[in-house]
Amino acid sequence: MSGGLQYERLQDQLLRLRLVQSVERLPSLLEAAAKRELSYSDFLEELLSAELTGKQDRNTAMRIRMAHFPFEKTLESFDFKFQPSLDPKIVRELATSRYIANAENVLLLGPPGVGKTHLAVALGMSACAAGYRTLFTSAAAMVALLTRAQSENRLEEKLQVLSRSKLLIIDEIGYLPLGPSGANLLFQLIAKRYERGSIILTSNQSLTGWGDVFGDPIIATAILDRLLHHSTMLNVKGESYRLKEKRKAGMFGRPASAPLLSATDD
């Protein structure tokens, strides 16, 4: 009877301490403790490590929500055999997130459909799991955000807020020309993060095409100078994974009939 009451008190105390994992684990752990004759310290260790793991998982899930990924994909679902231009060792090293501790950057370049966004998201998910605050945006959305902040006289404030993310993923540089003011704003963002926070950038344009993307070779050079100084560059080649899947479904002819695929390659 008093055991039952004590159990209720324990549950109540765990709840009030917000040790939600322990509330769940308590019954089975008490049973195991009785059966396996766990020592006090073994019992406490099992309870606390379950609590810590649960807490880490919740924090990771929260960071993933705050990152605003367009989809949630990981390296496990990335088929490296389909993508021989990529060295899996380099990608796996990046997935340790060490580059973020060093405020280094990652450039993912290649034609449409080869998995640049998939890889950027997967690295972002790893960063979230490693405890880094992460934010994903497209280049166009980032420029729109900064343009608006500037027109409201809050550009500095916005850049400050963005610098709280230890990893900033800017997807799809090069699909839309940025215009001089957009290029200038991106330059300010990148200059501000230089050696302070990491950027992962994806582009369908090779670096020689960036002068056109930014509408100004001088700005493009200044941006590249900072981005590349401490960086890993991944050139993803090959054909579109999307089209491969369609071709498999019989919607396209043979690979040779798709010259479009290499249109943006270098």
Q: Answer yes or no whether residue 73 interacts with ligand ADP by CB under 6 A.
A: yes
Q: 76 to 105, contacts with ligand ADP by CB under 6 A?
A: 77-79, 82-83
Which backbone phi and psi does 135 adopt, to 5 degrees? -135, 130
CB neighbour list of residue 102: distance below 8 Å, 6 or more residues apart: 230
CA 169, CA 178: separation in Å to the nearest integer? 17
**Cβ 69 to ligand ADP, closest distance in Å?**
12
Q: 183 to 242, contacts with ligand ADP by CB under 6 A?
A: 241-242
**Cβ 260 to ligand ADP, closest distance in Å?**
14
**Closer to ligand ADP at the Cβ: 182 or 238?**
238
DSSP 3-state of 212: helix
Q: 105 to 144, contacts with ligand ADP by CB under 6 A?
A: 112-118
162: left (phi over 0), alpha (psi -120 to 50) or beta: alpha
Q: Which of 162, 127, 163 is nearest to 141 (CA)?
A: 162
**Closer to Mg ion at the Cβ: 110 or 182?**
110
Q: Answer yes or no whether residue 252 interacts with ligand ADP by CB under 6 A.
A: no
Tell me if 172 sits within 8 A of 204, measured CB to CB.
Answer: yes
**Closer to ligand ADP at the Cβ: 7 or 82?**
82
The contact set with ligand ADP (CB under 6 A) reads 73, 77-79, 82-83, 112-118, 241-242
